[in-house]
Structure 1
Amino acid sequence: MTGPIFDRRLFTGGFAALPLSACATMSPRSAAAGVAVSDFGMTATGEPVRLFTLTNRAGHSAKIMTWGAALTSLVMPDRSDALADVVLGLDSYDDYVARSRNFGATIGRYAGRIAGGQFELDGRIVHLETGGGAHSSHGGPVGFSKRNWTGRLDETLEGPGVSMTLVSADGDQGFPGKLVITVTYRLTHDDRLTLAFEATTNRPTVLNPTHHSYFNLSGAPGRLVLDHVVTIDADEFTAFGPDKIVTGELRPVAGTPLDFRRPKTLGRDLATPDEQVRIGGGYDHNFVLRGEPCVLRRAARVDHPESGRRMELWTTEPGVQFYTANAVEMIGRDGVPYHPHCGLCLEPQHYQNSPNRPEFPITVLRPGATYHSTSEYRFGRAD
């Protein structure tokens, strides 16, 4: 393919969508590899929610909806080339609004917790919306995962893509500055799902977006992921106290259940009486990644020996939040029950509560600067 199927058109509530009949003009080759756009629902304010289906030359696919700029499906092969969805999701837009646990969502402005729902910036105390809780979490009660983004096709020779853009007003959920943020999803022809973030602001603010898919490489969403073999390229993690707020301590993983420096099955130490695992109800910890931030390097690897699927996370972020769906108990897509540990999240990001921890990597974005972050979920065959 030599260019975009649709020439940079916009798809969101404020713009007219290209009629779906236009998809019929694609050549047979384009229909097999490219982008298709469909309706997925309607917001309470009457904005259409669009679903973009990216298909690469191998016939593998990813679906991203404008609500929450969320990945709803990711179909990848096993060792026998049988295809299955490797992320958890729900059946409809209404389900995502009513009972999603951030399945596949883009989280922001700030992933994780900010203690007390406040922080100091340039000598001023900033107070955040907490929804009645003690702390700010995942950007507030109406964070980025609960917004309808603007979608735009962004296809290149590497593979089909879609750029999702959101304008967050000054004071949104208490955060200062008008923020314009874009995340571009691309499914490359060699089975990398790439996410590239860019953002600018007109006032000093803090920013820490991430991606929140629940992966289950078995392709059977009713199964638990305890048999997945996990490696995390980190020698330390940010320990937290009883309230799950990080203390500022970078604690060595050596000698703890959080030691994933060598491959081990996720379930091996999950039931340990270790205090950190007990407080989290499982794994829900930020790992301090090796290597230089802002440089794309491997952060983690997950193998599923039975299916033969492998996923590696590569990122420019300084940390990765590893979460094992500890609080998930619900009916998921196609009526399948989702139970605790039905999936695992690898969320590339800065550390939680960094605005209150000057010893952590900074998360301040200022006018005139552009935020950049890149992450890739790379799929292949396990050894």
Structure 2
Amino acid sequence: MTRTIEVVHTKNKKEKPNADNIVFGKYFSDHMFVMDYSEEKGWYGPRIVPYAPITLDPSAMIFHYGQTVFEGLKAYRTADDRILLFRPEKNFRRLNQSSERISIPTIDEELALTALKKLIDIEKEWVPSLEGNSLYIRPFIIATEPNINLTPSKTYQFMMILSPVGSYYKEGIKPVGIHVEDQYTRAVKGGTGTAKTAGNYAAAYKAQERATKEGYSQVLWLDGMEKKFIEEVGSMNVFFKINGEVITPELSGSILEGVTRISIIELLKDWGVPVTERKISLEELYQAYDQGELEEAFGTGTAAVISPVGELNWGHRNMVINNKEIGELSKKLYDTLTGIQTGKMADPYDWTLEVQ
């Protein structure tokens, strides 16, 4: 495969949004990356072109069978005007893992990273400088073959688009309320829970609607078989600090392997904080709460980095955690990880990659 990336510059640059009030996912930069796949050529035609609508046949297989995968990561502008990516190689590796599960041909991860760096370099003016803001990156692959036969597509497009986003915590970090979902199922072992594919998220809407109606921000998902063991919070991995030990559900075949998740685990181990990946039941969590041992709870993900949990609603049992205040460890993890991502703190782990 050729590694030459064609570049076509736009002749009509867009007006950039007000940095003080950027709505997530609404604004997109001037250019995007596109690459095609066919059985005869493999992946070919890597190019950076003006951001524009795409044209697909009504019978394109993405519309009918949902064969698609995506990723989410960010670029950060430092105080000294450098642009940093955070562990992007892990996102492209996970994109390929998702693709394998959905029968999509894998991409060249090195080429994808090279293309991303080139795209961001062209779009560097779109990386916000206001503290807390960043440039959200959405790589995704869709099935494009015009065919409604129930079989994997023979053609695909891989694209990357960029969107400036505001601070997740505009008014400071506030722990959220979580509703325990015991009716709907997010994923089961052997299903697509470990893949970042569109259907997983659409299937979660109904439970989120239910939680929102009851006044809660997120959903705590339980395992699909017994409705007993904790899996994820919304679109985030979840951690609990119980009697000094941090526990997070193990990757059991239905939980997404988060980049922020593994970074948190590595930080805790480096700090000498006991951290365990294992099954944890809701009953065990409630028992720890009842005994006064549930000290902190938080979700982890690209968008929020750390999202403290202040309340868990489980039927008629309600858990108020740490007086609905962010815990000391949660705050330290948030400050450290965002400090590394934005270049405010040293990066002893070699997690950041500068866009040249």
Task: Compute the TM-score of the two structures, normalised by the length of structure 1.
Answer: 0.29
Structure having the higher Rg: 2
Greater helix fraction, Structure 1 or Structure 2: 2
Greater strand fraction, Structure 1 or Structure 2: 1
Task: Compute the TM-score of the two structures, normalised by the length of structure 2.
Answer: 0.31
